[in-house]
Amino acid sequence: MVLVLFGASIILFVSLFVLPGDPIGTAGGERARDPAVRAVLEKRYYLDRPLPVQYVHYVERVFRGDFGESYRLRRPVSSILKSRFWATGRLALAAIVLEILIGVAAGMIAAVFRYSFWDVLVTLTTTLAIGVPTYVSGSIFQGIFAQKLHWLPLGTQGGGTWDIAHLIMPALTLASVDAALVARLMRGTMLESLRADYVRTAYAKGLSKRTVTLKHVLRNSIIPVVTYVGIAFGGLLGGALITETIFNWPGIGLALYTAISTQDNPIIIAVVTYGVAAFVIVNLVVDLTYAYLDPRIRLE
């Protein structure tokens, strides 16, 4: 984890300052044309030092929880993103719950009733969901549920909270592709488990199909799904940029989009650093979960 965070921070920091752009122009606006004003701003944001010195200064600040000051808003980045972290966390949690419920249930149905109408339906639906980009599915949901049926609000009043009316559309949009992938993965792993020797042994002992499916097959099939869901959840916590932009959800994805548009480097660095940290921490939790799900791993 430490090596991944260290490597990602170097790549991010160097990339932002090597790519063409004028962050001082963002910070100073029209005043930045004045050489004196420009020199003051460069000193204020530590941009008058060599790049290695800037990086060391940045790492020292990060260890203190200080991501600097936004060029555009002239406020501490930590205070700007504090509420946005929680908004993205709510959206990511809602999306991952939908992803697990829909994906695991659909995959189980497709595997248990292989080659039936339900299997074909799940296969066709997941193929369609995987092929539709997020910005398209989000626009479709808005057009159907908000503008045509008027079941859900199109605006963002209450956005970022646990209000189901405002949360369900962006969460479903965010979960749609991953839920389809989970369903396909669950179907494949369950079909493989259903052909295993221990399943035949369980049936030979007289266990019912329901007991074998839920107690033995499901538990052994869920491990690859847990791996994928962990990776997906880490990515969602890092900011769902497209979905938050479509629904104007006040999370870190929308903050990242705005920061990239205005070259507000301190916000970009803070959001991406948070995303990498969330990703590696969630994956550590997933690795530890394997031991609970699989006794063989626990014994090793």
Domain co-membership, 144 together with 8: no
Residue 71 lies in a domain: no
Domain co-membership, 216 together with 272: yes
Token pair recorded at residue 144: 């159907």
Domain co-membership, 50 together with 143: no
pTM comes to: 0.78
Residue 287 lies in a domain: yes
64 CB burial (10 A radius; 0-12, 13-18, 19+): exposed
Residue 280 lies in a domain: yes
Query: What's the rounded mean pLDDT across residues 103-124?
Result: 91
Kindly state the DSSP code that residue 1 receives in the 8-state scheme: -
CB atoms within 10 A of CB 133: 10
Domain co-membership, 103 together with 226: yes
Domain co-membership, 173 together with 224: yes
Task: Specify the long-range contacts of residues 79-85, CB closer than 8 Å, at least 24 apart.
Answer: 80/255, 80/267, 81/252, 81/255, 81/267, 81/270, 81/271, 81/274, 83/160, 83/250, 84/160, 84/250, 84/251, 84/252, 84/254, 84/255, 85/251, 85/252, 85/274
Highest mean pLDDT among 6-10, 111-115, 289-293: 111-115
Query: What's the rounded mean pLDDT across residues 271-299?
Result: 79
Q: How far apart are CA 238 and CA 279, in angstroms?
A: 7
Domain co-membership, 47 together with 116: no
What percent of the chain stands above pLDDT 70?
89
For residue 274, the enclosing domain spans 81-299
Task: Give the pLDDT score at 238.
Answer: 67
Domain containing 166 — which CATH number? 1.10.3720.10
Residue 256 lies in a domain: yes
Q: Which of 101, 100, 123, 102 is nearest to 111 (CA)?
A: 123
Domain co-membership, 35 together with 184: no
Q: How many domains does the chain have?
A: 2
The number of residues making up the chain comes to 300
Domain co-membership, 155 together with 274: yes
Could you tell me the maximum CA-CA distance found in the chain, to the nearest angstrom?
Answer: 86
Domain co-membership, 111 together with 226: yes
Residue 249 lies in a domain: yes
- End-to-end Cα distance, the chain: 22
Residue 189 lies in a domain: yes
Q: Which of 162, 285, 290 is nearest to 233 (CA)?
A: 285
Domain co-membership, 152 together with 34: no
Q: Which of 163, 175, 154 is nearest to 92 (CA)?
A: 175
Query: 281 falls in which pLDDT band (50, 70, 90)?
Result: confident
Query: What's the rounded mean pLDDT across residues 151-157?
Result: 70
Domain co-membership, 147 together with 46: no
Domain co-membership, 173 together with 47: no
Least confident of 42-46, 60-64, 111-115, 251-255: 42-46
88, amino acid identity: T
Q: How far apart are CA 178 and CA 160, in angstroms?
A: 21
Q: How far apart are CA 265 and CA 69, in angstroms?
A: 10
Residue 76 lies in a domain: no
Q: How far apart are CA 135 and CA 139, in angstroms?
A: 6
Q: Is the per-residue pLDDT at 102 higher than 80?
A: yes
Residue 255 lies in a domain: yes
Write the pLDDT tens digit of every residue in 217-253. 887 788 888 888 888 887 777 667 888 888 888 888 8
